[in-house]
Structure 1
Amino acid sequence: MSVKEDSIQQLGINTVRVLSIDAVQKANSGHPGTPMGLAPIGHVLWTESMKYNPKNPEWANRDRFILSAGHACMLQYSFLYLTGYDLSLDDLKNFRQLNSKTAGHPEYGLLDGIEVTTGPLGQGFANGVGFAIAQKHLAARFNKPEFELFDYKIYAICSDGDMMEGMTSEAASIAGHLQLGNLIYLYDDNHITIEGNTDLAFNEDVAQRFEAYGWHVQVLPDGNDLEALSAAIKNAQKETARPSLIKVRTHIGFGSPNKVNTAAAHGAPLGEAEVKLVKENFSFNPDQSFEVPAEVLKYYREAGSRGSKLEADWNTLYSAYKKKYPKLAAEYELAKNGKLPDGWKDKLPVFKAGDKLATRKASGQVLNAIADQIPNLMGGSADLSPSTDTDLKNYGSFSTDNREGRIFHFGIREHAMGAILNGMALSHCIIPYGATFLIFSDYMRPPIRLAAIMKIKPIFIYTHDSIGLGEDGTTHQPVEQLLGLRSVPNVLVIRPADANETVAAWRVALEHQGGPVALILTRQDLPVIDQDKYGKAAGLEKGAYILSEPHENPALILIGTGSEVQLLLAAQEELKAKNVAARVVSMPSWELFEKQDQAYREKIFPKALRHRLAVEAGSPLGWHQYVTDDGDVIGIDKFGESAPAAELMKAYGFTVDNVVKRALKLIS
């Protein structure tokens, strides 16, 4: 196929359309219609709007692209291949197959050029807000006159489905409030969902909604008008005081004679006959699959190669910056490489036996003790910082007037908070944390799961961890949430027993790699365990450790987490008075314990010592893997009630007397 210079753009766009339908057809699954409608938008983004370097996908000042409409991933895969990323035509042919780079939705870490795992609608939209916050913060902290190190923008393509999701509203609201002018979102207004036309369930004026959020909004009636698309994106690039939304009327399945503008083009292959008709419509060989004209590949590879010079210029700028601002450069490189400054552990507090404080308050003291040492540690809460103890006392709030602020006010937006934290974590220069009550972790389940899939490390602080929060009652008392968090692969859950275990938990959290961390903390005060009399809190790093063992041949093991460990120590004394020796094991983290070798696990839970009692103010499910058939669990298998905490604990069996009674029954 030959092509004139003036038609190369249209041929390139049609090549992306054909690649998309061929890949979906070969896989016999996928979403062909949306890439067909979006191809012109992708073309403008990858050929003129975005700065990126396929030879170094991690270039620090690249623009970030997020496909929030992750089902349209063949659009992104096609452009990554065409512009020269580490992706072959064979990878496109292997779409949606086992061990393929080209998964059914974009997956971070699987393929260069994918900034974030998307698929659940609305997540990518909110992730982008986190990316934007990170850029604003890095620019405020590191940019200097004549050294604009970080001026990248965040581009995203969003769908009708994204606009329907509630978390999009949460994220759009805070983005407008924070005036994140580095966001440029293109809304694929194609009017189609799986069930049919969007007017079945959705007829709001999205443009007016976003204007009300404080966004800069443009509306384009024709998604195939390249000049209008280019002009609109340029307008958005110039708008620095408001995030931008470009609403673009597209046509799902564009080029398909029989399925354009229908739900049939959305979530299933077009069918061999229709694929041939599309190819004929675009003057491609109907009998050839994955056809990429040489002129098209050359054109897009040249577009991609421009990034090498952009990065080379940036590297020259950074070299000069490093000479003039060596301390700042060293701080940046340390953060970028995921390292922690020397000496930060020396600032960790040590609490004295006899003190009494909630683990949430101990956590707050840890944060403020190390804040000076770890300048890239930042975060906040979903309007609960006085209750979760998560403010950094000596640092200001991130705002339109203070981009260097390290305290974040997410508002009552738990779902968006989780996704924004993920976006911040993906900047690789920030250690973000976010806090709310443990019960509201349910509002954050999708971003928790996605963080775990991506193996990134936002730190989730969940306080008010049990019925021990008291009078707020059933709706605020978590029962099944702790078990739910433990059930998610790659999530590290830590429920410390006192203030010093909380210090150890933070030490582990900050050094941990391979997934998010959830710190589970009390509202109520707990006595600080005497580490001279009992075990050292440093044992937390192994997930479970022998806290107390007054006799070398114990009759049973008492196992607990969090506030319930205090009960076990008291019960141990009662049992001793009855001539029953009990080992007390503090087990703040199942996940850390399971990483230990067999010898250590056998040391803590010897096979011969089968009488075991686990005590935790939450669902008993899961504990039987540690207590065995000869063991027992004191847990909660119903909801809580509104009452003072001490009364609730007694009513639900979390008393020394009940622990002793159940322990004696085990060995009788």
Structure 2
Amino acid sequence: MASQLDQQCIDTLRFLAVDMVQKADSGHPGLPLGAAPMAYVLWDRYLKHHPSNPHWADRDRFVLSAGHGSALLYALLFMTGYGLTLDDIRQFRQWGSKTPGHPERGHTPGVEVTTGPLGQGFANAVGMAIAEAQLAARYNREPYKIIDHYTYVLASDGDLMEGVASEAASLAGHLKLGKLICFYDDNNATLAGSTAVTFSEHRIERFQAYGWHTATVEDGNDLAAIDTALSQARLEVARPSLIRVRTHIGFGSPAQDSYKAHGSPLGEESVRKTKEKLGWPVEPAFLVPNDVLMHMRKATARGEDWETQWMQRLQDYQSHYPELFQELDTRLRGALPPGWDADVPVFEPDQKGLATRESSGKVMNALAPKLPALMGGSADLDPSTKTALSAFGDFRPPRTGETDAHDPAEEHGDYTGRNIHFGVREHAMGSIVNGLAAHGGFIPYGATFLVFSDYMRPPIRLAALMGLQVVHVFTHDSIALGEDGPTHQPVEHLASLRAIPNAIVIRPADANETAVAWKVAVETRDRPVLLALSRQKLPTLDRQRYASAEGLRQGAYVLADAPGGKPALILIASGSEVPLIVQAAERLREEGIAVRCVSMPSHELFEALPQSERDKVLPPSVGARLAVEMAATQGWERYVGAQGAMLGIDRFGASAPGETVVREYGFTVDRVCTAARALLGHRRETAQMR
């Protein structure tokens, strides 16, 4: 039985949310009305946080995966003292407000991750739980538990329907992430109808099969039952927990238990009836009783005490373990340790060269000893993506004692490991590395083939929206991968990824450009970096003859110039096609043509330059420009201009040895030279593969 004050707090949360949605004439009142009790129990009795310092490193993380219920989160943040005002609450979903339609990280204090696309927050939370487990295993020393917090999620039916949540839940159970607790708001409704229409599986049994501890609270208004289920979940050390709470969507409203309560304002008359039914004053709107506010604002004092105690432990820890403290402090501040790039290799000229996936692997393993924050893995593709950190072990749970029947020789797991085996779960991998980045203390990476970035577009987009430092290593970057054929040969993917705002795509031309690309990725703190790397070997250019690979930092640079820096023709390429234009340029120079070769590994880095600097690379006075890239031509028109042309691919690939596919698609010296001569002859030829 809830006390009178508890009930007042819950109803304040409910009706702040209802009034927000009604005033905005837009939003989702159903979830806040039903889920407010479980949120209140968590935030009032268990959540370790400090509203005056939302970035305190050892806070519990709360993720509203059901981001459409944002009004409930904003009410919680306002009531507990995160700096939101009642005016901010009144400006829900309005231009420039701190309370946008779905929670946005970095926009509203206390919002851990941007949610709304269902399932993403759930998978982000798995990443946060991995982060906590790895940091705790690496740095905690008895009696100092410096890293010791939980990750909580509030998820809806829709979250659990999304495939990304299933992928992430499967991995979380396998990894035995005991400090991950999910509240499942089971209200039998989605936006378009009852869950009976689409969702009849046994969810509890599914999560049990994943290896989760589960519990069910039959009445979402039963605070004691919620409290008991949560306290029991916190005692679980070897399993994540799913607490199913049966609630009524739109509780107390005329639309209770109907999908119609999900995503539309209740309407003035229904708001009045709901308040009357639940014993809440109809007027004024946005009512916050003083005793309720005083009670919930105690969270600030509790948080200050928690952080003060933690700071004292941290000081004691520093005196006993100064080196570990320094390493941890550097990671939590997001700083780079001195000399982090000192061992990055410089690759000698080599006509045979290396695949850029291989040189990337060498660079990663040179960085890893100096960058403890570097952690990640691949979607079951380490042998192909070359992304394993060879000296730093696998992130695995402790063994339970029984032998793995599939691998009797398997070693004991260790949460200190830095290689995450994501399995064939690209979508979850993208979302989990976002959670690692959002948690803090990591430079996370995920790896797969470029073509499978299609499975990962939602988390890549959200990483860009949140400004998270995530590195995506995409190998097998073109039709040159060969025999696997068009299902595995990316064509439109570079253009698609380049279209994402606030993301940086880099396609390096050789081993040394790859090394610089990794430096850029490590230094870039405010957005994701996507590396597109080759399967086939590429020549390592002689940098005594050609410009320094450091030119990659500006996105495009003059690799080799015409005499006197006065070209009649500019050849532009990225990645594996740079050696091709270099060869073509040599032939054209023999014909007396003044050619400039431009390596353009990153459109985004180039666009960040002032126009005057871009003009130095691509002078407006030179209209004869030919861009060469084994990918869709879309996006290159801005660089070749009206008088230029693009040699690209606007159809799917084919299955054959890589050299054959490349030749048959016309990526040859002869084809490049023919297209270049056509431009200089002012013939209107597009040089595009159609």
The TM-score, its normalising length taken from structure 1, stands at: 0.98
Does residue 444 in structure 1 map to residue 456 in structure 2?
Answer: yes
Report what 2:328 is aligned to: 332
Report what 2:49 is aligned to: 52
User: Aligned residue pairs: how many?
Assistant: 664
CA distance in 1: counterparts of 2:389 and 2:526, whole angstroms: 26
- Aligned residues of 1:32 and 1:269 also touching (Cα < 8 A): yes
CA distance in 2: counterparts of 1:635 and 1:652, whole angstroms: 9
Q: How does 1:210-289 map to 2 (within 5 A)?
A: 210-256=207-253, 258-289=254-285
For 1:546, which of 558, 565, 573 is the aligned residue? 558
- Aligned residues of 1:456 and 1:513 also touching (Cα < 8 A): yes
Report what 1:8 is aligned to: 5
Report what 2:319 is aligned to: 323
CA distance in 2: counterparts of 1:5 and 1:370, whole angstroms: 55
CA distance in 2: counterparts of 1:466 and 1:100, whole angstroms: 44
- Aligned residues of 2:50 and 2:299 also touching (Cα < 8 A): no
- The farther-off stretch of 503-512 and 331-340 is 331-340
Shift of 1:621: 0.7
Shift of 1:592: 0.6
For 2:508, which of 493, 496, 502 is the aligned residue? 496
Report what 1:465 is aligned to: 477
Shift of 1:532: 0.6
Q: How does 1:601-616 map to 2 (within 5 A)?
A: 601-616=614-629
**Structure 2: which amino acid aligns with 1:511?**
E
**Structure 2: which amino acid aligns with 1:572?**
A
Report what 2:575 is aligned to: 562
CA distance in 2: counterparts of 1:83 and 1:201, whole angstroms: 37
For 1:23, which of 4, 20, 36 is the aligned residue? 20
> The residue matched to 1:420 in structure 2 has which SS?
helix
> The residue matched to 2:169 in structure 1 has which SS?
helix
Does residue 640 in structure 1 map to residue 653 in structure 2?
Answer: yes
Does residue 536 in structure 1 map to residue 509 in structure 2?
Answer: no
CA distance in 2: counterparts of 1:128 and 1:310, whole angstroms: 22
CA distance in 2: counterparts of 1:587 and 1:513, whole angstroms: 22
For 2:678, which of 639, 643, 665 is the aligned residue? 665
CA distance in 2: counterparts of 1:198 and 1:80, whole angstroms: 30
String of CA shifts for 1:473-505, please: whole Å, max 9, x gaps: 010000000001000001100000000100010
**Which sections of structure 2, spanning at least 5 residues, go unmatched?**
398-412, 682-690
> The residue matched to 2:439 in structure 1 has which SS?
coil
Report what 1:595 is aligned to: 608
Report what 2:36 is aligned to: 39
Q: How does 1:383-394 map to 2 (within 5 A)?
A: 383-394=380-391
- Aligned residues of 2:57 and 2:332 also touching (Cα < 8 A): no
String of CA shifts for 1:435-455, please: whole Å, max 9, x gaps: 000000000000000000000
**Structure 1: which amino acid aligns with 2:500?**
V
Q: How does 1:492-531 map to 2 (within 5 A)?
A: 492-531=504-543
**Structure 1: which amino acid aligns with 2:615?**
E
Shift of 1:568: 0.4
Shift of 1:5: 10
Shift of 1:397: 0.4
CA distance in 2: counterparts of 1:275 and 1:370, whole angstroms: 58
Does residue 305 in structure 1 map to residue 266 in structure 2?
Answer: no
CA distance in 2: counterparts of 1:546 and 1:220, whole angstroms: 65
Shift of 1:325: 1.0
Report what 1:61 is aligned to: 58
- Aligned residues of 1:27 and 1:97 also touching (Cα < 8 A): yes
Shift of 1:337: 1.6
- Aligned residues of 2:626 and 2:647 also touching (Cα < 8 A): yes
CA distance in 1: counterparts of 2:497 and 2:553, whole angstroms: 19
> The residue matched to 2:563 in structure 1 has which SS?
coil
Shift of 1:170: 0.3
**Structure 2: which amino acid aligns with 1:318?**
L
Q: How does 1:111-260 map to 2 (within 5 A)?
A: 111-256=108-253, 258-260=254-256
- Aligned residues of 1:630 and 1:666 also touching (Cα < 8 A): yes
Report what 2:594 is aligned to: 581
Shift of 1:324: 1.1
Does residue 407 in structure 1 map to residue 419 in structure 2?
Answer: yes
String of CA shifts for 1:77-123, please: whole Å, max 9, x gaps: 10111111110111110000011110101110011111110000000
CA distance in 1: counterparts of 2:67 and 2:379, whole angstroms: 27
- Aligned residues of 1:335 and 1:429 also touching (Cα < 8 A): yes
String of CA shifts for 1:257-313, please: whole Å, max 9, x gaps: x21001111100000001011111232221321011111111111244211111111
> The residue matched to 2:490 in structure 1 has which SS?
coil
**Structure 2: which amino acid aligns with 1:420?**
I
Does residue 347 in structure 1 map to residue 336 in structure 2?
Answer: no
Structure-2 change in CA distance of 1:409 and 1:6 (3 Å):
closer
Structure-2 change in CA distance of 1:193 and 1:352 (3 Å):
same
> The residue matched to 1:404 in structure 2 has which SS?
coil
- Aligned residues of 2:627 and 2:645 also touching (Cα < 8 A): yes
CA distance in 1: counterparts of 2:256 and 2:562, whole angstroms: 76
Shift of 1:225: 0.3
> The residue matched to 1:346 in structure 2 has which SS?
coil
- Aligned residues of 2:376 and 2:419 also touching (Cα < 8 A): yes
Does residue 368 in structure 1 map to residue 365 in structure 2?
Answer: yes
Between the two proteins, what is the percent identity of the paired residues? 53
Off by >3 Å, runs of 4+ in structure 1: none
Report what 2:642 is aligned to: 629
Report what 1:416 is aligned to: 428
**Structure 2: which amino acid aligns with 1:280?**
E
Shift of 1:394: 1.0
Does residue 430 in structure 1 map to residue 427 in structure 2?
Answer: no
Shift of 1:11: 1.0
Report what 1:292 is aligned to: 288
String of CA shifts for 1:376-430, please: whole Å, max 9, x gaps: 1111100000000001111110000200001110000000000000000112201
- Aligned residues of 1:63 and 1:155 also touching (Cα < 8 A): yes
**Structure 2: which amino acid aligns with 1:604?**
V
- Aligned residues of 2:584 and 2:673 also touching (Cα < 8 A): yes
String of CA shifts for 1:303-359, please: whole Å, max 9, x gaps: 442111111111111111111111111111111121111112220101111251100
CA distance in 1: counterparts of 2:581 and 2:17, whole angstroms: 61
**Structure 2: which amino acid aligns with 1:598?**
Q
CA distance in 1: counterparts of 2:559 and 2:581, whole angstroms: 10
Does residue 89 in structure 1 map to residue 77 in structure 2?
Answer: no
Does residue 572 in structure 1 map to residue 568 in structure 2?
Answer: no
**Structure 2: which amino acid aligns with 1:544?**
A
**Structure 1: which amino acid aligns with 2:386?**
D
- Aligned residues of 1:47 and 1:304 also touching (Cα < 8 A): no
String of CA shifts for 1:215-234, please: whole Å, max 9, x gaps: 00001110000000000000
